[in-house]
C-alpha cells in the first residue's frame, strides 16, 4: 500500500527565511521522491514568503489547536506516517494522532534541541558557564525528551545532540536517527563559476531575526567585534541580512561605521558569494546553522564560535576560523581576510565538508530504511519503549482533558 505522510508543521515552510524552512522542504522532497502521498497541515497563519507546496504536489490544510475537528480530519485522512515539526506540535496533536490513528508511525523532527538552545541563552544572560547537567532539571528539557520518548522515531539534525540524548539522558538509540541537512553534490562547474578571492570584499552574516541567537549575534558584532575588527581592516564593511528584522535591529545600521543592516536578502546566495568572509560568532544556539551551509556552498569561508561550528564538520578541518575569544577571533579573521592562500584553503575545506557530510543520497536511504523497519516491527518497537507508552498514557489523559476544557471555554 502506498504510504501517506501527514506533516504537522509548526509554521508554513519559508526556505528563503530560515534554515528550518529549508530543512522541512528537504524532508518533504524525500517523501515525494519515494512517490508517497504527502499532506502538510499547520495551525499557523501563512505569510507572503511561504513556499507554494503545490509545486511539489503536496496537499495543504490549515488546522486549529484544541479543536475536535482535527480528530475527524485525521481519521478520514488515515495517514500511515505522521511527522511532527518540533516537539510543540507533538504535545498539541500527538495524543489525538495516537487515539485516531494508533497504527500510524509517529516521527518527531526536533529541528534542534530547543531546551539546549534556551538553556545556553539563559546561562549567557545570567553571566554563568553552561553545563549539560543543568538540563536535567530544566522543565523545557523534560517536555522535549518526553515528546521524543512518545514518538517511534525522532530525527536529530546534529550528531552532538543525538549523543547528548543517548549518553546523558539514556535515550535508547533505536528511537533516534541522525539526519542533517541533505544537499545535492556541488559540481565543479558551479565551483569554478564562484567569484574569486580578488573579486570579493567585505563581511556578511545572514539569519532570521525571529531567531534569538541571530538577534544576539548582531548586537555582539555591533558592540564587541566590529569596532576592533574595523581598526584592523578600515576599508572593510560589515553587511547583515535577515528576514523579519524589527525596528530596533534596523536602527543598528550605521553607514559611518561601515556597519549595514539590510533586512531580508532577495538572494542569500548572491550576497554571500560576493563577500570575502561570513562572520557569525554565535554566543548560543543548538542544531546546525544553515548560514554556514550557505557560506560553504558559495565558497565563502566562515568565522564563528565553538557553538556555531558545533556538529557541522565532525573531524574535518573547519572552513575558516573557530574561536571563542574576541582577540583571537579578530586577529585570525584579519589574517584570513588578507591572506589569499589561507582563504582558498578554507574554501576548499568547506567544499570537503559538504561532500563528506551532507550528501542527501546517504541520508535519504537511511531514513527510508528506518521507517520501513520500524513499521514492520511497530508493535515490538513500542513494547520495548515502555517509558514512551507510559508517557503516552499520561499525556493522553492530562493534555486531552486540558485541551477539551480549552475547547469548551472557547465556545462560551
Domains of the chain: 4-182+360-411 (3.40.50.2000), 188-357 (3.40.50.2000)
Sheet of strand 238-241, all strands in order from the earlier edge strand to the far edge:
259-263, 238-241, 203-206, 277-280, 302-304, 320-322
Q: In the chain, what percentage of residues exceed pLDDT 90?
A: 83
pLDDT tens profile 269-293: 999 999 999 999 999 999 999 999 9
Phi, psi of 209 (to 5 degrees): -75, -10
Looking at the DSSP assignment, which residues form a beta bridge with residue 205? 240
pLDDT tens, 102-148? 999 999 999 999 999 999 999 999 999 998 888 877 899 999 999 99
Confidence (pLDDT) at 397: 55
pLDDT tens per residue across span 334-376 = 999 999 999 999 999 999 999 999 999 989 999 999 999 999 9
Is 70 exceeded by the pLDDT of residue 398? no
Q: Is the pLDDT of residue 390 over 80?
A: no
Residue 247 binned pLDDT confidence (cut-offs 50, 70, 90): confident
pLDDT at 209: 92
Amino acid at each position: 500500500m502506498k504510504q501517506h505522510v501527514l506533516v504537522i508543521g509548526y509554521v508554513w515552510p519559508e526556505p528563503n527565511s530560515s534554515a528550518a524552512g529549508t530543512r522541512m522542504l528537504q524532508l518533504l522532497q524525500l517523501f515525494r521522491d519515494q512517490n508517497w502521498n504527502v499532506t502538510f497541515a499547520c495551525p499557523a497563519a501563512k505569510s507572503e514568503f511561504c513556499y507554494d507546496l503545490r509545486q511539489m504536489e503536496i496537499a495543504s490544510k490549515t488546522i486549529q489547536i484544541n479543536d475536535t475537528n482535527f480528530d475527524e480530519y485525521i481519521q478520514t485522512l488515515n495517514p500511515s506516517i505522521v511527522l511532527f515539526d518540533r516537539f510543540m506540535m507533538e504535545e498539541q496533536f500527538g495524543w489525538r494522532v495516537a487515539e485516531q490513528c494508533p497504527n500510524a508511525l509517529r516521527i518527531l523532527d526536533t529541528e534542534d534541541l530547543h531546551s539546549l538552545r534556551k538553556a545556553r541563552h539563559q546561562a549567557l544572560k545570567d553571566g554563568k558557564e553552561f553545563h549539560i547537567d543543568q538540563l536535567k532539571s530544566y522543565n523545557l528539557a523534560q517536555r522535549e525528551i518526553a515528546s521524543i520518548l512518545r514518538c517511534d522515531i525522532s530525527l536529530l539534525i546534529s550528531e552532538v545532540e543525538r549523543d547528548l540524548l543517548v549518553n546523558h539522558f539514556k535515550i535508547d538509540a533505536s528511537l533516534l536517527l541522525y539526519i542533517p541537512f541533505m544537499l545535492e553534490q556541488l559540481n565543479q562547474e558551479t565551483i569554478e563559476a564562484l567569484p574569486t578571492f580578488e573579486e570579493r570584499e567585505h563581511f556578511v552574516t545572514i539569519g532570521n531575526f525571529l531567531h534569538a541567537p541571530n538577534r544576539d549575534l548582531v548586537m555582539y558584532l555591533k558592540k564587541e567585534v566590529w569596532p576592533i575588527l574595523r581598526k584592523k581592516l578600515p576599508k572593510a564593511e560589515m553587511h547583515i541580512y535577515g528576514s523579519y528584522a524589527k525596528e530596533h535591529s534596523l536602527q543598528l545600521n550605521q553607514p559611518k561605521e561601515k556597519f549595514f543592516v539590510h533586512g531580508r536578502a532577495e538572494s542569500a546566495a548572491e550576497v554571500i558569494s560576493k563577500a570575502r568572509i561570513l562572520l557569525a560568532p554565535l554566543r548560543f544556539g543548538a542544531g546546525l546553522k544553515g548560514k554556514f551551509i550557505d557560506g560553504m556552498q558559495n565558497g565563502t569561508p566562515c568565522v564563528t564560535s565553538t557553538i556555531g561550528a558545533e556538529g557541522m564538520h565532525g573531524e574535518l578541518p573547519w572552513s575558516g576560523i573557530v574561536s571563542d575569544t574576541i582577540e583571537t577571533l579578530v586577529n585570525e579573521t584579519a589574517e584570513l581576510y588578507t591572506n589569499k592562500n589561507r582563504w582558498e584553503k578554507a574554501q576548499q575545506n568547506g567544499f570537503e565538508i559538504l561532500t563528506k557530510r551532507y550528501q542527501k543520497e546517504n541520508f535519504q536511504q537511511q531514513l527510508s530504511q528506518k521507517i520501513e523497519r520500524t513499521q514492520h516491527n511497530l508493535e515490538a518497537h513500542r513494547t520495548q519503549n515502555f517509558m514512551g507508552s507510559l508517557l503516552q498514557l499520561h499525556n493522553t489523559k492530562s493534555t486531552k482533558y486540558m485541551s477539551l476544557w480549552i475547547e469548551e471555554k472557547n465556545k462560551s
